[in-house]
Amino acid sequence: MCAYGISVNQDHYVVETDDALVGWKTDVIDAVRRGGGFVEMTSVSGMSTAILITPSSRITVQKIVRGDAEGAAAFADDMHLFEDL
């Protein structure tokens, strides 16, 4: 199982697919080039959030990989906690 943990100015989100991440990164870069703008983030829970991105936004992306069934269950628990921060 692979997902991505994304932090934007200390707010945390999780997306499940490379496609979701690639599209989001493109939208972020466009917002920064425009001097700022809102970018939509849809997390694995289906929650959609409009995030104001500015040239000074601090963004980190972490790839989360879990290979076995036990790891996938632990990841699901971690993801729930991660999104509730």
pLDDT at 85: 42
pLDDT at 67: 58
pTM over 0.75, yes/no: no
* CB-based burial label for 57 (10 Å; 0-12, 13-18, 19+): middle
Q: What pLDDT was estimated at residue 37?
A: 97
Return the closest-CA partner of residue 8 out of 70, 27, 34. Answer: 27
Cross-strand partners of 6: 13, 61
Beta strands in the chain (DSSP E): 2-8, 11-15, 37-42, 48-53, 59-65
What is the reported pLDDT for 38? Answer: 97
Q: What is the mean pLDDT of each run of 10 residues along the chain (85 residues)?
A: 85 83 92 96 88 96 70 51 46
Task: Compute the distance between CA of residue 36 and CA of residue 41 in angstroms, rounded to an integer.
Answer: 15
